[in-house]
Amino acid sequence: MGKAAANTVKRPTNCRAIASCLSAAELLNAVSDNIHGLLVVASNIVVSAPDATRLVDRLKSIGFLIVADMFMSETAELADVVLPVTQWAEEEGTMTNLEGRVILRQRAKEPPKGVWSDCRY
């Protein structure tokens, strides 16, 4: 979405928090301007977001960055706190597939001690 299109997006007038009214790209652009803390779960935004150089500078200047991920990614390396999370084979429970079917997933392997599912954070 270009700048002109982004400016025409109507936002709800009853937003209680800045982040609840922003798209993902707008949220990343707002980092350190209006957002002073950020929790990134299972995403390496330094690699996947547009304009990565600008984003890295913004993440370095943010007040408090927490990353919950399976790997020490480029984003996790910038974090004040990194929370290790389980990967799919270490979790159990249900999920809904794209057809709307509920599937029971059974744990294939125990996670390392002290590692939680990202749903628990």
Mean per-residue pLDDT, 22-36: 72
CB environment 94-103: b (16+ within 10 A), e (fewer): eeeeeeeeee
Examine the pLDDT at 76 and tell me if it is beyond 90.
yes
**What confidence tier does 121 reach under pLDDT thresholds 50, 70, 90?**
low
CA 86 – CA 117 distance, rounded (Å):
5
CA 121 – CA 116 distance, rounded (Å):
8
Which of 1-10, 40-49, 68-77 comes out lowest in average pLDDT?
1-10
| Mean pLDDT, the chain, integer | 80
Mean per-residue pLDDT, 95-117: 89
Mean per-residue pLDDT, 83-104: 89
Examine the pLDDT at 68 and tell me if it is beyond 60.
yes
**Residue 104: which H helix or E strand, with range?**
strand 102-105
β-strand pairing of 37-41 with 64-69: parallel
Examine the pLDDT at 14 and tell me if it is beyond 50.
yes
Q: What angle do CA 64, 45, 14 make, to 5 degrees?
A: 70
Alpha-carbon separation of residue 7 from 4, 10, 22, 35, 59 (angstroms): 5, 8, 12, 20, 24
CB 71 within 8 Å of CB 87: no
- The better pLDDT of the pair 9, 112 is held by 112
Examine the pLDDT at 82 and tell me if it is beyond 90.
yes
Task: Say what the pLDDT of residue 23 is.
Answer: 72
